[in-house]
Chains A and B, each alone.
Chain A
Amino acid sequence: MLAAFNMAGESTTATSTVTGSAPENASLLVIEHLRVDFPEVVAVNDLSLRIEAGDVCGLIGPNGAGKTTTMRAVSGLQEFTRGSVRIAGRELAKEPDELKRRLGFMPDFCPTYDQLTTSEFLDHFARAFGVADRARRISECLELTWLTDKRDALCEELSRGMKQRLVLAKTMLPDPQVLLLDEPASGLDPLGRIELRKLLLQLRDAGKAVLISSHILTELSGFCNKAAIMERGRLVKFGTLAELGRQMDRHRMSVKWRAGGERAREILKDPAVAKLEPQDGGVLFDFLGGPDALDELLKTLVTQGVRICEWRGVGDDLEQIFLQSGAKELM
C-alpha cells in the first residue's frame, strides 16, 4: 500500500504502484500570466496554462522557446517576474515548502551522486522527502523504471538512459500529484521509450497531471491529450489535441475507395485540395480548410457514389499541429 495525496491534500492509500485516481475537472496545475525575465530577453511572457488531473500535456517548441525556463519557474527553481503558479489550488509563492511533496520535477540532465549506488541515491531523496517505508518505495520506483537489477550498481556506472530512468524514479519517490518532465526520453533507447510511454499512461490513469517537454513529437502524441506550443517565450497554442485539431486549416488526408475512383478524382479537383498523390487504392492529399469543410468534402464523395473504405488523417496529429502553429524550427 502506498501513500498518496488526494485532492484535498489528505493522505490516502492505494494498491497500484502509481497511486491515485483521476477526479474530473480538477485543475492540479494552474499557471497564470507567468513572466520570466533574463538580462537580454523575456524568457517566458504572459504564459497561462491549466492542467487537470489525468492530463498529460506536451510542452512543445523550438530551442530557446522557454520550455525549460517555464518548468524551472513552476518548480520554484527560477524566480519569475509576474504571474502565479497554483498546485492543487494552492499558491506556490505562498506555500513553497508545503508544495514540494506535491510537485516532481525531472530536469533535462541527470543529476546523480556518482559514488552512490542507485538504491542509496534513492534512499537519499526518500529520506529528504520523509517517505514512509523507504525500502519498499525505493524497490517500487526501481521496478517502475526497470532498474531493479541495477539497485547495487554505482550511479557512475550507469548509461545516460539509465541515469535518466533513475532520476525519473527519484522524481516519483514522494508520489507527487504534478510531474514536470523535461525531455525525459532524450537518453532512452527504443525499448526504454516504449516503457516510458507505458509509465506515463499509468500516471495519466492514476490522475496525475503531467507536463512533459520533448522534441520527439511522434512520441508525445502517443500519450498526450493536451499540447502547449511555445515560441520565443509566448504560448502560441494550447488545448486538447481535439481542440487544436479543429483549429487546423490544413490536413494531410488519406482516402481509399472500393469503387467510384474516377468520380472521386473529379471531386478532388476542388481548389481546397492540394498535393494530390496517388496511392494503392486511393490518393493522399492536403486539404486546405477547417474540419467542417473536410466533413463536407467527405459527404460529397459519399453522396456522389464513391464507396470509401478508408478516410483518415495522415502523419502525426501533434506534428501537424506544431507545424501549423508557426513555431517550425524544432532543432
Chain B
Amino acid sequence: MKLTENPIFITQRRITHRGGVLAGMLIAGVLGFCLLVGFIGSLTDEFGNARPAADMGRLFYGWIIGLEILVLVLGGFAHIVRVLTEDRKAGLWDSNRLTPMSPAQILTGYWFGAPLREFYMGLVLAGFGLVITLSAGLPPTLWLGTQLLILSTAAFFGLLALLMGMAFQRAQGLLVILLFLFTIPVSFLAPSRLLTNYLLPTYGIGHLFIATVPVSEQPMDQDWTSATHLFGLSINPVLLSLILQASVGVFLWRTLVRKTANPFQPLMLRGEAVGLFTWLTVAQQALIWSMWLGIFPTTAKYRNSDDIPLIIAVHGGTLLLGLMLLASASPQPERVRVESLRLGFTNFGPLFSRSAAPLALALAGIAAVAFLTQFLFNLADSWRILLVVCVNLTEVFLLFVLVLEYCRLRHRRRHLGFVALWLVLSCVAPLILALAFQNAGFARFSMLAPGFIALAGPDDTEWPPLFYTLMAHMLIVILLGLVWRRRWLGVIGQAESSN
C-alpha cells in the first residue's frame, strides 16, 4: 500500500490540514527570513568592513539547523507521542487494529502522518538554510549532509515516539527527550568516542561544519575533525550515524510491529534485547578502543586524566542501557500466570525461563566480552579491574531484575515507585552523601561503587575491601533471590487454585 493510500496517513493529513498548517509554515518562514536578513546584515561590520561570508553563513545556518532539530526532531517526537496516546485513550487505536490493515501499515500511517505540520515547517527552514549556505559560498554537501542527518534523526525519533506512545498511557515519552538532551553535555567529553553522539546528529553535524573551515583555522581539538574509528578502522561519522540510527531503528520497528499485532507481549523480546545490547555495547567499545588499543592502563601514571570520566561514563551508559532493556523485557506477572494456566506448568523451571533473570546474566556476559576488548593485551595486569567491573555489572543487573519482578508481584501497579526507591537508596543516595560530606567512604555503600572504583585505578590496598563488598552484594542477591522465588511460586499457586 502506497503511503498516500494509507488510511491513517490520509486521516492525519486531513486533521493536520484542517487544524491549519499555514500558521506553522509562516512562523518558520518568518524565523528563516529573519535569519537570512541577519546573515546579509552581518556580512559587513558596523564600520562597513566586509566579514567572511563563509563564517557568517556557518553561524546563521547553525541557527537554522538548531530550529530544524527543535521543530522536526523534538516537535515531531512530541506530536507523535501525543497523537498516539490520545488515539489509544479514545479507542481509535483498537478500532484500527480491528481492520485488515497490517501492523506495519498502521505504524507507517502514524509515523509519517502525525508530524506533517512539523515536516512542512522543517521544509521551509531547510529552504532558507539552502539559500544561506549557497549565498555564503559554503559547499552544498554541508547542506545535503546536515539535512540528511536531521531527516534520519527525525525518523529515528519518530520510531522512539511510536514506542513511547504505545508503551505509556501518558506522554512520558518526553522523558526520552530530556534523557537525550542530558547526553549532549556528556557528549563533549570525547565527541568522537561516545555512541550517543552518533545516535543523535551531534557529531556528524559538528564534523560537517568543521570540515568546511580551512585547516589552518580549524579548532585545536582534532577530535571533531578526524575520522571516527571503530576498532581502529576509520569510518565517516555521518555514515556511522546513519548506520547506527538505521540499525537501532530496525530493532524498534520489529518491536513496534510485534506489539501492534499483540499488545500483550512484553515491550521487547529477550532475543531482541540481546541483539540490541550486543550491537550497542560492542559499537561503544569499538569507538573507545583506539584510546588504549587493548592495553587498558592499570596504574594512574599511564592514564590520561581525561580518560577516567570517559570510561566511567561508558560504564554508566552500559549499566543504564542494560537496566532499560531488562525493564522492557521483564514479563508482566499476569502474563506468566496466564501462561502457567494455559500450559499447566507447576514447577519453578519454566517460571525462571520466563523471568528476565537469565537475560540479566546474558547481558552481563555480553558486556563482559565487549569490555574484554580493552584488556586484550594486558590481561595479566588488569584482570582485577575486569573481574570487579563484570561481577559488579552482573550483581546490579540481577538485583534490578529481582527487585523489579518482586515489586511487580507484590505491589502490582505501584511497583514503579518501589523500584525507584530501591534505585535511589542502593545506588544514588550513597553517592550523593559522599559528595555532600566530601567523604568517599559513603560512596562505597552504593551498589554501583565497586565497578566505578575499579575503573578509577585503585591502590593495591583498596582491592580487598572491593572484593568483600562484591561478596556482600552477592549475599544480598542470593537472599533476595530466595524471596523472589517464593513470590513467583505464589503466582503458580494462585493459578492452580483458580483453575
Contact = CB atoms under 8 A, between A and B. Distances in A.
Interface of A: 35, 37-39, 42, 75-77, 79, 81-82, 97, 100-101, 103, 105, 107, 109, 111-113, 115-116, 120, 123-125, 127-130, 170
A124 B98 contact: no
Contacts of A129: 99-100
20 contacts: A37-B334, A37-B341, A37-B498, A38-B334, A42-B498, A75-B98, A77-B94, A103-B98, A107-B94, A112-B90, A113-B92, A116-B14, A116-B15, A124-B11, A125-B95, A127-B7, A128-B7, A128-B96, A128-B99, A128-B101
A229 B498 CA distance: 22
A125 B7 contact: yes
Interface string B420-461: 000000000000000000000000000000000000000000
Contacts of A42: 498
A37 B95 CA distance: 23
Nearest to A110: B91
A40 to B, nearest CB: 9
A35 B18 CA distance: 45
A128 B100 contact: yes
Contact of B11 (A100, A111, A120, A170): A120
Chain B interface, >50% SS class: helix
B15 A81 contact: no
B31 interface: no
A35 B115 CA distance: 41
Given A116-B14, A124-B7, A101 B91 contact: no
A35 B100 CA distance: 26
A295 to B, nearest CB: 44
B341 A120 contact: no
B338 interface: yes
Given A81-B341, A115-B18, 5 more contacts: A37-B341, A39-B412, A97-B102, A107-B91, A129-B99
B387 interface: no
A77 B98 contact: yes
Contacts of B333: 39
Q: What are the nearest 6 A-B pairs in CB distance?
A: A111-B91, A128-B99, A127-B7, A128-B7, A79-B264, A115-B15
Contact of A81 (B11, B90, B101, B342): B342
B11 A113 contact: yes
A101 B100 contact: yes
B338 A79 contact: yes
B485 interface: no
Nearest to A75: B98
Interface residues of B, number: 31
A170 B102 CA distance: 19
Contact of A82 (B99, B264, B342): B342
Nearest to B95: A111
Interface in B83-116: 90-92, 94-102
Contacts of A116: 11, 14-15, 18
Nearest to A45: B498
B19 interface: yes
Interface in B356-393: none
Interface of B: 5, 7-8, 10-11, 14-15, 18-19, 90-92, 94-102, 262, 264, 333-334, 337-338, 341-342, 412, 498
Contacts of B412: 39
Given A115-B15, A124-B10, A77 B338 contact: no
A120 B91 CA distance: 18
A101 B14 CA distance: 25
Nearest to B105: A128
A80 to B, nearest CB: 9
A280 B423 CA distance: 79
A252 to B, nearest CB: 39
Contacts of A103: 98
B18 A100 contact: no
Nearest to A129: B99
A120 B100 contact: no
Contacts of B342: 81-82
A100 B95 CA distance: 11
Nearest to A97: B100
B334 A39 contact: yes
A178 B338 CA distance: 28
Contacts of B91: 107, 109, 111
Contacts of A128: 7, 96, 99-101
Contacts of B262: 79
B98 A115 contact: no
A82 B262 CA distance: 16
A97 B11 CA distance: 22
Contacts of A120: 11, 14
A81 B334 contact: no
A220 B95 CA distance: 25
A109 B92 CA distance: 11
B169 to A, nearest CB: 16
Nearest to B89: A111
Contacts of B95: 111, 125, 170
Contacts of A105: 98
Nearest to A80: B338
A127 B98 contact: no
Contacts of B341: 35, 37, 81-82
A81 B495 CA distance: 11
